[in-house]
Structure 1
Amino acid sequence: MMSADNHTGFYPVTYILTGIPGTEKSHFCIAIPFCLMYIVTLFGNSLLLFIILTERSLHEPMYVFVSMLATVDLLLSTTTVPKMLAVFWFREGEISFAACLTQMFFIHVSFLAESAILLAMAFDRYVAFCDPLRYTIILTKSVIGKMGLAIVTRGFCFIFPLIFLVKQLKFCRTNLLPHTYCNYMVISRLACDDITVNLWYGVAMAILVIGSDIVLIAVSYVLILRAVFLLPSKEDARLKALHTCCSHVCVILMFYVPAVFSSLAHQFGHIIPGYIVNLLANLYVLIPPMLNPIIYGVTTKEILKRVINVFYRCWSRSSMLS
């Protein structure tokens, strides 16, 4: 840990993640459900990826986007949770400045990538319901590949400047981070420099990128619902369409609601207790990656059928061996 006074700035060699302020005595117990959620996340998303990659019948645009979502969820949770558990259980909160910036980069890139994937999935459903005859013509393998590249490029271009903004800051208060992972706003607030540019860049990115994603997703689903209710009186087709849309909407709400509340909590941190702000930030990186594969596994018949087949084959083999 580096010392500093109120007049001179320094560049921290390391940060110390302190966990959730005000809940130190409960850290060990808090970590248990976090660990269980992480295990479910790893198992669920890995199983989802395995099924989609090995089943040729699932090599369709919708399932490709689901596999992208599972990959990003694995990246987000693996970037944050192991260090989080080390802080809670072993008080191993020390993290180098470079490692902290790397973690911050991947967390925020994952967030933008997931938002873009949800937008791509909304577009996929829009084409499927509103222009089904041209679905295979519009969403070719080449187009999906370009969309994937655009998702990665967009996240990189918007988040990479954050590293330079943080590296320009001088820190004169402390290198104790009151958090379980390296968050851009939490790091910036430790600086003794004026962080107006940092704040406005974060706000502008949220409005221009996340805000536009939310608006476009909402427009897509309004058009989808309009197309669904304009279908001839075929109740089965209408129910199937609504069922598919509901699973996507649930995933979208699970992702954006905690993220928006977490962002607002950081902006109004002086009003909301610190432990609530921190818990919201933790839930935003834990709950969506855990529940996404469960929702798609339960609500998508094709995936559910193959999950059951995988478990049945495993059970049959174990029975034969015994």
Structure 2
Amino acid sequence: MKKKKKIGVPGIVSVGVHVVRYVVRQIVSDVRDDAETALESLHIGTHGKPALRVDVNAEDSFKRELHKYQGGRFKKVKVYGEESLRSTDLDLSLKKELAVLVDAVDGTDLVERGFSNWCSAAVFFDPRNQPGKKLVAAFVGVAVDESPADVYFATSESPDAFVRRNSDNNKLAGLSKVKSLKEASICFYGQKADNYLSVATGAFTNRLSALNARTKKTGKKLDLRIYNMAGIPMMVKLADHRVSLARGVDAVIEVEGQKPHDCVPGLFIAKKAGAVVRNLDGSDFSFEQMEKLLLRPASNEQTYVLAATEKLSDELLALLKD
């Protein structure tokens, strides 16, 4: 029997952009047309945490659209969604197939409240590949008014990151040049109490207060902005600083810890775009480290500092030390 040809990166880019864009459009349509049904709470699986119907529908839509694309070319790609990714039994190192890890609605709480900082994210992962090539591609879809979603993506085969707007692929605009915390716009995930308090109390706040006091003595004010909305959408915005004269996102920090599927798609794309991604001990958050995390998606929570420049990263890490 003739061995089936392995799906290449160009095919994965084609299906990834198509499916993520389709799912974002489906989410927007479901909430707009029948919010009462879309935001209904459902109890599914064994982990106890309820899901909204829009979550379930989006994941089903992802799988269905993936498997029927190009006449069923991708029908054997295994899909791991929210329920699977919570299971501590999942070990992708034991698998011998291309898989896709999907967070069809990353930011369900924001969708529920009518906020816009949500996305659909997916990682195509092949544990058979050599280190540095296992994470084949990452895709992030962000809703844009009535237009097709912007889909940010990067692959193991290219040193760059891209965005599909309308029908063209474009390299990301790049990063800001901000090097000092005094001028930076930083984001952290602070919707839940533990996450908020992890940044809003302790060493970070004390050091920030001292920096603020020193700056005031010079007759100036900190031009720092802190936003407690973070996650993957802010990561891709950091990597796509389109208007050079306007303020953008300069750093995204996480000191409490996120599951790999909640951060790796955005970190992978941002790092490909040239951003500095580090662990809290200052070491490089490498592509190989991202892959190791994805092998056991439910086993670890990851902290990090993502910054536009090394100097800004250094300053943030100094503030975040215990």
TM-score bracket for this pair, using the shorter chain length: under 0.3
Higher helix share: 1
Higher relative contact order (CA 8 A, sep 6+): 1
Higher strand share: 2
Whichever of the two has the greater Rg, that structure is 1
TM-score of the pair, normalised by structure 1: 0.25
